[in-house]
Structure 1
Amino acid sequence: MVNNNLKALKSGIWYTIANFFTKGLIFITIPIFTRIMTSDEIGEFANISAWFYIFLILTSFQLQSSIALAKFDYQNNFNSYLCSILFLTTIISSIWFTVILLFTDFFSSILSIQKNYIILMFVCLLIYPAIEIFQTSCRVTYRYKEAIIISLIVAISSTLCSLIFTLISNQKLDGRVYGYFIPLIIIALYVYIYIIKNGKTISKEHWKYSLIISSPLILHALAGNLLQSSDRIMILKLQNASEAGLYSIASMCAIIVSVLWASMNTAWSPWAYDKMNNKEFNDLRIYSKLYFIFFFLIAIIFMLIAPELLYIMGGHEYIIAAKVIPPIMCGYIFQFIYSLYVNIEYFNKKQKFIAFGTVVSAILNVILNYIFIPTYGYVAAAYTTLISYMFLYLIHWSVVKKNGCSSWYDGRFFVICSVMAVLFCIVITILYDYNIIRYIIIFAILLWFLYLMYIKKAEIKMAIKNKSLKDLLKIYC
């Protein structure tokens, strides 16, 4: 048991590092792509990427989500189970691919994607689930090195090939698309053969088992994906590719904060579950505030430096998109808060309400986008997503309150902070026209941070030595 705990801890640390590296690779290549591609081309690629991951859910049926349980129920023929569900994803993908080939013109028009790109995308979808199945199986068996190696190979090869193909191609979008998908197809094919070779057999019993577990998660996964990607799709459809490109680059600039939140939540959740299990709710209330303030300050800083960040990432033509970063960051703040309540729902085994909230919010987001994007352009998409996250926060808070657990966190504190986040969003957007005031605020925050580092250096060293995140939060918050 102790050995497994150590394996889980070690794998968690390395997954976080790998996640930062792969997302960081995307972040640092943004300035290159924005200078060799037009905003229209970037918008079109963002649309292709968004649809690829939506269809990945529909073609894979989220069968990889059943692997964690199958590890226990099919211990003696685990490799056969992986082989079975991989073959099932191929059957589902083939059905989809056949429909696409029969009605290519229709789907090309609906998706706003060229026919050759749709075919390439579905060739990849036929075998790409192999990578997800392999990585999931590695995670549940603590083979983190293999999972991370595949992640890095995929990230590095697709990024490098995209850069090279885009640079040498006269049609930059062709280079970006083919450079992205060809490495995925090659790597996925290798992993596909590896899984089939190890599994060798296919069982209908495995198919039935995986579908029972995974089917309820399809709608949740699809809604979660739509909540994140419907903006880019609908901007291109209702406005144009250029605006989709502007929005896409602004969203990618915010990716560091998103990765930070995901990594922090990975560390926070197990600690929070322990506190819930031991009924140490006072600790939960105190440290959740410090935890939130730390993230809140980072989000505010990103809001303040958005124009400069966009200038570095995309150049002068992308600075205009800075006004969408405050609502995007504000959305992350609401996402952060509702994730605290989601942890309570998970602890109390109320997962069905998590799926319900995601689906309702995704539908709300699509409706609001349809109403406001035609009138207010791509900027409206950032605010409609913010409203959807606010709504999601209310849903999760209501569920937790109904179950008598709302006192586990200081609800009043988070309501006040939510209002402050919206006010900061509005004020900082206005300050983009008053750079001197904005620079003074940034400088003041930097001085405060350095001042604390100087007067609290002994405490900081001790906290780092003890690997205590709680002590670091106390120092800065």
Structure 2
Amino acid sequence: MAGKNKDASLNKRAFTSGFFFILAQLFARGLTFAVTPIYSRLLTKAQYGVVRTYESWLLIAYTIMSLCLWRSVDVAKKDFEDDYNGYVSSVHTLSYIAIAFFFGLCMIFKTQVQDFCQMDDLMFYTCFLYVFTYTSMLYVQRRDKQVLKYKFSTMATLLTIVPGTFLSIWLIYRGRVQGLIGQLVDRRVIGYYVPQIIGGAVVAIVIWTQGKKFINLKYWKYGLAFSLPLIPEALSIQIMNQSDKIMIQKMISKEAAGVFAIATTISFIIWILEDSVWNAWIPWLYAKIGEGAEKEVAKPWLSVMHMFGILSWILVMLAPEEILILGGAKYKMAVWLIAPMVSGTLFRFYSYSYSALQNYYKRTQYVAAGTIGTMVLNVILNYVCILNFGYMAAAYTTAFSYIILLLVQGILEHKITGMVIVPLHKTVLIAIAYGAINLLSMNLYRVAWYYRYAVMILVVGAAAIALRKQMMAVLKMFKKK
């Protein structure tokens, strides 16, 4: 009885912390989506392309410079439970040392780095300050997720994103009113990132104050052993996600990068939901693996897969209206990018269930190998297809690369761990089915809008009836009393 009460309490805490974690992520990231119509109208297409490409460079930069040590926080909870805050504090210090090293290296080649990344001095220095402090945010989010607490990391997220978003909009608007059109990109950089840098610095101080450890070679060795093999994998994922915008800006134009970026905002909706659900799901998944209860995972995970497959299709069906709202008529060509983009995001999400086992058993080098190979394929395909077919081809090459990643990770999971949570053939069939439906649904853009809406209402209604019991079971699984 005591064991059951303990499990019920754990599930309740996991549900509560997971719910608030998802809520904070949805609000913070959703705010970025919500203000896109404002940015796209205040900035020119070229300026919007520059802003989004700069974001891509930041995502690549923090992945490399932090050494991905924050990812070890998930597994360290099990091995250093008695000094968990000390572990986080110590490894956090090591990330800062690594970032400082990369900053010094880039200062030596400052001119070359700025030319390659197309950054002015403000963007260059802001990049490094942001990498320092955003890394701190990643540490506290992962730490609090593992200890099933949510208040501090939730407030830290909201109190940095919200002020930055509205300050940047105000600065851009004032710039337009004053006729300072050439300064709008820099005004967005200052307004959006400075509040996050200040908030992240406060979080860094809190981490060190709570952990009270700056240097611990044992913790550093553990963190490096887990995280270093993940750097190529994490970097490859970021390159797959971001290289298309960077390559389009360099190979086609800033305006084309802006159109492509508007379309990625749509896929970002499902990306937000997928990552939020996965981040709340993974502590429960690892707990089930630790209990030897992997068989309990497959059924609810299949339900989640179908839920996101249907959601991706809804986004495809609403693409004309989404683009009109987000960017207006000048971005109308982006509508043809939505289906391959959200399909690729869906394939990426499906691959998580296979890489999770390899991460749990610390076989991270195999995760990295599969991802690196897929990234190289994606970059090559991007280059060839953009050159020969135009910038829209990048959406299709990325989707294709993600389904290859799904296949690779699924094969590696079985060969390396000897375990299978969800049979690979089931996942591939589901992925191909939803991908094909998404692409075929683009034909409905050529008919009157009410035909699309009628089809959507019928299908969503039928799916809600069919999947209602399964999804309720997933929620009850976390909220047992």
Among candidates 49, 54, 57, match of residue 48 of structure 1: 54
What is the match of residue 468 of structure 1?
473
- The residue number in structure 2 matching 1:8 is 14
SS of structure 2 residue aligned to 1:22:
helix
CA contact (8 A) 1:231 1:369 kept: yes
Cα distance, 1:139–1:402 mapped onto 2, change above 3 Å: closer
Matching residue of 2:479: none
* CA positional deviation for 1:340: 4.1
- 2:407/2:424 contact within 8 Å kept: no
CA–CA separation in structure 1 for the residues paired with 2:420 and 2:199:
49
| Farther off after superposition, 391-400 or 324-333 | 391-400
Determine the C-alpha separation between the residues in 1 that align with 2:13 and 2:416.
34
**2:206 equivalent in structure 1:** 194
The percent of aligned pairs where both chains have the same amino acid is 26
Shift of 1:395: 1.1
- Helix, strand or coil: the match of 1:364? helix
Q: Which letter maps to 1:187?
A: G
Q: Are 1:67 and 2:73 matched, yes or no?
A: yes
Corresponding residue for 2:99? 93
1: distance between equivalents of 2:307 and 2:49?
A: 33
Shift in Å, 1:183: 0.7
1:184-223 pair list within 5 angstroms: 184-205=196-217, 206-223=219-236
> CA 1:42–1:278 in 2, change beyond 3 Å: closer, same or farther?
same
Residues 284 and 236 of structure 1: CA distance in aligned 2, closer, same or farther (over 3 Å): same
Alignment partner for residue 224 of structure 1, among 237, 248, 267?
237
Map 1:130-169 to 2 at 5 A: 130-169=136-175
Tell me which of 90, 96, 105 is aligned to 2:111.
105
Matched with 1:302 is 315
In the alignment, the residues of structure 2 paired with residue 404 and residue 133 of structure 1 have an alpha-carbon distance, to the nearest angstrom, of 28
CA contact (8 A) 1:30 1:313 kept: yes
Does the CA-based 8 Å contact 2:341-2:399 persist in structure 1?
Answer: yes
1:117 Cα shift?
1.0
- Structure with the bigger RCO (C-alpha within 8 Å, sep 6+) is 2
Q: Deviations over 1:357-383 (max 9, x none)?
A: 222111111111121222323211101
Given candidates 450, 454, 467, the residue that maps to 1:443 is 454
Q: Distance in 2 between matches of 1:468 and 1:55?
A: 40
- SS at structure 2 position matched to 1:254: helix
Task: Say which is worse superposed, 68-77 or 315-324, in terms of deviation.
Answer: 68-77
Q: In structure 2, how many angstroms separate the alpha carbons of the residues matched to 1:48 and 1:182?
A: 15
Equivalent residues of 1:15, 1:148 under 8 A apart: yes
Aligned match for 1:252, one of 259, 265, 286: 265
CA contact 1:90–1:127 (8 Å) conserved in 2: no
**Residues of 1 paired with 2:280 and 2:147: CA distance?**
20
- In the alignment, residue 473 of structure 2 is paired with which amino acid? S
1:376 aligns with 2:389: yes
Name the CA shift for 1:351/1:450 in 2 (closer, same or farther; >3 Å): same
Q: Is the 1:104–1:115 Cα contact (8 Å) retained in structure 2? A: no
Partner secondary structure for residue 468 of structure 1? helix
2:52 and 2:258 in contact (8 A); partners too: yes
SS of the counterpart of 2:188? Answer: helix
| Structure 1 unaligned blocks of 5 or more | 472-477
Q: Give CA-to-partner distance per residue, 1:262-308, whole Å, 9 cap, x none.
A: 34445766479859945758x946x6655444332222221122111
Cα separation, partners in 2 of 1:360 and 1:274, compared to 1, 3 Å: same
CA distance in 1 between counterparts of 2:279 and 2:97 reads 34
CA distance in 2 between partners of 1:82 and 1:348 (Å): 20
Q: Which amino acid aligns with 1:331?
A: G
- Bigger shift: residues 3-12 or 345-354: 345-354
Provide, for residues 371-412 of structure 1, a one-character-per-residue CA deviation record: whole Å limited to 9, x for no partner.
Answer: 122232321110110111121122133335647979864655
TM-score, structure 2 length as denominator? Answer: 0.84
Residue 203 of structure 1, CA deviation: 2.2
Question: What secondary structure does 1:8 align onto?
Answer: helix
SS in 1 for 2:119: coil
How big is each residue's C-alpha offset from its partner over 1:155-182, in whole Å with a ceiling of 9 and x where there is no partner?
2122112212211222211111111221
| Cα deviation code 1:58-113 (max 9, x no counterpart) | 22112222334555655665555444333333322222222222322111111122
Is the 1:224–1:358 Cα contact (8 Å) retained in structure 2?
Answer: yes
Stretch moving more, 136-145 or 357-366:
136-145
Deviation at 1:342, TM superposition (A): 3.9
2:192 partner letter: Y
Change (3 A) 1:183 1:351: same
Q: Using the TM superposition, give the Cα deviation of residue 197 of structure 1 relative to its aligned residue in structure 2, in angstroms.
A: 4.1
8 Å contact from structure 1 (residues 40, 245) kept in 2: yes
Quick check: 1:173 aligned with 2:185?
yes
Residue 72 and residue 355 in structure 1: after superposition, are their counterparts in 2 closer, same or farther (change >3 A)?
Answer: same
**Structure 1 CA distance, aligned partners of 2:67 and 2:213?**
20
Q: How much has 1:247 moved relative to structure 2?
A: 0.9
1:108 maps to a residue whose letter is: Q
Aligned pair in 2 of structure 1 residues 266, 143: CA closer, same or farther (>3 Å)?
Answer: closer
Task: Specify the code of the residue in structure 2 equivalent to 1:107.
Answer: V
Q: 1:25 corresponds to which residue?
A: 31
Give matches, 1:74-85, under 5 Å.
78-85=84-91
Which aligned pairs between 1:197-346 and structure 2 lie closer than 5 A?
A: 197-205=209-217, 206-265=219-278, 270=284, 274=288, 277-278=292-293, 280=295, 284=298, 290-342=303-355
Distance 1:76 1:278, change over 3 A: closer
Asked whether the equivalents of residues 273 and 343 of structure 1 are also in contact (C-alpha less than 8 Å), the reply is: no
| SS of residue in 2 equivalent to 1:378 | coil
Amino acid at match of 1:40: A
1: CA distance between counterparts of 2:20 and 2:148? 11
- From 179, 194, 210, the equivalent of 1:182 is 194
Shift of 1:147: 0.9
- Whether the 8 Å CA contact 1:397–1:406 is kept in 2: the answer is no
- Name the CA distance, whole Å, in 2 between partners of 1:404 and 1:173: 48
- The answer to whether the 8 A contact 2:319-2:335 is kept is yes
Q: Distance in 1 between matches of 2:256 and 2:196?
A: 28
Partners of 1:288 and 1:78 lie apart in 2 by 30
CA RMSD of aligned residues (A): 3.4
Amino acid corresponding to residue 179 of structure 1 in structure 2: G
Q: Does 1:385 align with 2:394?
A: no
Q: Which moved more, 1:4-13 or 1:383-392?
A: 4-13
